[in-house]
Amino acid sequence: MGIARPQAQRVQRSGAQSRTYGTYQTFLDGNDVAGLSGWVCECLGPGDNQQADNGKRIEAGGYPLHTHFGDVYQSIGYATDLQPPGSSPMPGIRLEGTGQRYDILIHPARPPTLYLSSVGCLNLTGPLADSETMDFWDSRARVIALIESLRDFAPGAFAASENTRIPDAWIVVEGEPS
């Protein structure tokens, strides 16, 4: 399937907060997947996979996608009770091959950290000005749409509640912001 390709565009700052802000697009057989594009927020760079818990964005490169089953994020069985917003488990997809980095996910922004909900993960969102926070409901819907597309593409990977490689599904992280 498809490759979601975040492209780091620039650094956004608002007071003491900062984030890397870029675009993403999902592809299937080389064609754009309608409705699976937008913006992504990440930690600042430069990308670094050599040290765990470094709070930076991951390095540019290709990463195989896996289902994820943790206490806070899951690829199936995530909370459908939407009150309060951000109830666990939240929807998420796992990136593997991240060197010393672990639990690097694509997941929604979650309250109360809606400017950036990441220690290396990718938060999907719509367009944002530097000072704007992500909309929880929009971010959640984008991650669920990505998960559903991956589940339609490779249903077997979602059959068990254990971290499983999603065949032929990759994310390509491109470059540092200019």
The span from the CA of 134 to the CA of 9, in Å, is 17
Which pLDDT score is estimated for 6? 65
66-92 confidence digits (pLDDT tens)? 999 999 999 999 988 777 888 889 999
73 CB-near residues (< 8 Å, 6+ apart): 88, 89, 90, 91, 92, 105, 107
Q: What percent of the chain has pLDDT over 70?
A: 95
pLDDT at residue 82, rounded to an integer: 73
Per-residue pLDDT tens digits for 123-178: 999 999 999 999 999 999 999 999 999 999 999 999 999 999 999 999 998 877 76
The residues facing 61 across adjacent strands are 173
Beta carbons within 10 angstroms of residue 65's beta carbon: 26
pTM as predicted: 0.93
